[in-house]
Amino acid sequence: MRNYRHFAIGMNAFLYRHDHEAAFHWVTTAAERPNAPGWYRTAAAGFVEEGGDRRTALRYLEEEMRADQKPQVRDALLVKYNSLLHDELADQIAKHRERYVQKFDQDISNVDELGGLPEDPLGGGWVLSPDGRVRSSKREALLQRQAVVDERAMILLPMRQRPY
């Protein structure tokens, strides 16, 4: 029960006061308690990222993964870490792309034009998305699937509301 109280204080700080620092403190406190659910650590990293400090969130996750964790907890932390790392690298690639455009006075038509990019932490490759951003092929596939689900919901919603 004590774990939940600390976690609840952190969630209240986040949701109602938008205080990311306090949310991180209380959720981390809850995560360090005996028998705390492993996902509390992932939530703590999310508060750091939400506060605008992705690199600190990455360092926090690295430390947590080095700690003696259950395999399921370590796996969850790794998924969050790779997602944050992808976002960090995508931002760096976007800046690299801006420099390319300034230098050559034209945009890229293929990610290969940017030269050697870092390995995709999500396990795919870097692609130029239809929205013009460079991102992981794995993330792009996920976004495309979500777009189809959203589109279907939008089309079916009016049909469900019909009176017949």
106 DSSP assignment:
S
What's the average model confidence in pLDDT over 84-94? 93
127 DSSP β-pair partners: 135
Q: What is the pTM of this model?
A: 0.69
Q: Is 99 contained in some domain?
A: yes
Q: Is 62 contained in some domain?
A: yes
How many CB atoms within 10 Å of residue 160? Answer: 7
Nearest alpha-carbon partner for 113 in 122, 123, 121, 103: 103
pLDDT digits (tens, 9 = 90+) for 9-57: 887 777 677 787 888 888 888 888 888 877 777 777 776 666 667 777 7
pLDDT digits (tens, 9 = 90+) for 96-143: 999 999 999 999 999 999 999 999 999 999 999 999 899 999 999 999
Q: Is 133 contained in some domain?
A: no
Decide if pLDDT at 161 tops 70. no
Residue 97 belongs to what domain range? 37-124
Q: Is 67 contained in some domain?
A: yes
